[in-house]
Amino acid sequence: MASEPFDLIIIGSGPGGYIAAIRAAQLGMKVACIEKDPTFGGTCLNVGCIPSKALLESSELYAEAKHNFKAHGIQIDGLKLDLAAMMARKDKVVKSLTTGVAGLFKKHAVTGVRGIGRIVDPTTVEVTKADGSLEQLHTARILIATGSEVVIPRGFTLSGDRIFTSTEALELNEVPKHLVIIGAGVIGLELGSVWNRLGAQVTVIELLPRILNGFDGELAETGRKLFSRQGLKFLLGAKVTRAELQGETVTVDFEDVEGKAQRLECDRLLVCVGRKPCTRGLGLEAVGVKLDRIGRIEVNAHYESSVPGIYAIGDVIPGAMLAHKAEEEGVACVEQWKGIAAHVNYQAIPNVVYTWPEVASVGATEEELKASGIEYRKGSFPFAANGRAKGMGHTDGFVKILADKKTDHILGAHIIGPRAGDLIAELAVAMEFGASAEDIARSSHAHPTLAEVVKEAALAVDGRPLNL
């Protein structure tokens, strides 16, 4: 290890950390990135975004072949699931990307350090190596990008592949007979979709009276109906009180929406009630870094903590726990040190659920606009009236655009339908540039494409859709 001090030491190599490291190196900084796990990439690349999306894609193709190919004139005899091969493909995708991060570090002369980092003072980080040895690194600045970890409800005991979290749900070697999921958020719905497609009976228990808390209500309700049609069963407004493993059977006790005691038995229980900032062991309290009431690091507009020279981004600070949010914060944080007028527009950060159909949102929901007393106009258009969607055989869902009643500036956009996660990008860019619904409506969209639904929704804001 070089004895000269670094310009920047980053703790954590997830999307926020490794992107910040690369951008800092591009700007001429001498950078080290500390990672506690054997591979770079953090939760996202190793046990989160990437492996789950690989399984979602594979299971989606399997479901298409099983249920929809016949309508396209494609006959398949003896369709068979090879779960081991599917998992191997997922692992190959993960390996290629984590190896890619290591390659990017080498290309940009970022020093990758394996071990657990602890902040000694604003210019010193102590690293505990796998063999127990200690090494102190010195730096001008420290950036904390340690991400988040799974929340385990009080009273729950994890048990291998029977009672587990999202990490273990990506590694099952057989399809569950009955998978019960606690939590109807993004992770629960995505993993529930995977195993439902592959043949499991899936029951989702949610404390709130709706799924996808935080998303637009109309979007979430439409999603519930569509996912229910696919076979997912929802128990909403239900509170799980106990889960116990007896042999190979998991017993789940809960109170239903009316407060009555109920019981379910299953062979697998997935606990995904949320995530929390991963800040333990960093030495934050000892150096005086302030945390908020739920353990997030308090930062100013420049991502600097209460201790000068110590910065934080991503899941450890307030805001949505999204990989792309962390990336944007990492870039903005390091660019400002070089006098670049960097910023993150938090109103234009999209959020996507990679179910089928996909669910995607950016900006304000209708509920938020109503609560704020903001007058708005709404334009909505269904995929059922789109030629490309009909040709694909996927016509469920709609695009909804919310625009300021006076200025027509887009305040929010919400999509449920085929490739919603890709379509939302146009609206995120539009909001970043302060576009109006009329700007979208006047822009030419290729025909026939799914993007035409976005244009039609923009036209509908003004009450003039052309194909409905």
User: Is residue 61's pLDDT more than 70?
Assistant: yes
Report residue 108 as tokens. Answer: 């940009």
Whether 6-150+276-344 shares its CATH topology with 348-461 is answered: no
Give residue 430's region: left, alpha or beta (phi > 0; psi -120 to 50): alpha
User: Is residue 463's pLDDT more than 60?
Assistant: yes
Maximal C-alpha separation, the chain: 69
Phi and psi for 125 in degrees, rounded to 5? -125, 130
Contact yes or no for 125/1 (Cβ under 8 A): no
CATH of domain 6-150+276-344: 3.50.50.60
Active site residues: 447
Which CATH fold would you assign to the domain 348-461? Enolase-like; domain 1 (3.30.390)
pLDDT at 155: 81
pLDDT at 349: 98
pLDDT at 287: 98
Domain assignments of the chain as residue spans, ordered by start: 6-150+276-344, 163-273, 348-461
Coil vs helix vs strand at 164 = strand
CATH superfamily of 163-273: FAD/NAD(P)-binding domain (3.50.50.60)
Q: What is the mean pLDDT of residues 287-312?
A: 97
pLDDT at 160: 86
Nearest to 284 by CA among 268, 269, 271, 295: 295
Q: What is the mean pLDDT of residues 420-445?
A: 98
CA of 439: how far to CAs of 345, 428, 429, 430, 462, in Å? 20, 13, 12, 8, 12
pLDDT at 4: 84
Interstrand relation of 31-35 and 275-277 (parallel, antiparallel or unpaired): unpaired
pLDDT in tens, 244-278: 999 999 999 999 999 999 999 999 999 999 999 99
Q: Residue 58 half-sphere exposure, CB side, CA atoms within 13 Å?
A: 24
Please state, in angstroms and rounded to a whole number, the distance separating the CA atoms of residues 379 and 363.
15
pLDDT in tens, 32-58: 999 999 999 999 999 999 999 999 999
Q: How many residues can be counted in the chain?
A: 468
Give residue 204's region: left, alpha or beta (phi > 0; psi -120 to 50): beta
pLDDT in tens, 125-153: 999 999 999 999 999 999 999 999 999 99
How sure is the predictor about 154, in pLDDT bands with cuts at 50, 70 and 90? confident
pLDDT in tens, 192-221: 999 999 999 999 999 999 999 999 999 999
CA of 226: how far to CAs of 223, 267, 355, 359, in Å? 5, 25, 10, 11
How sure is the predictor about 3, in pLDDT bands with cuts at 50, 70 and 90? low
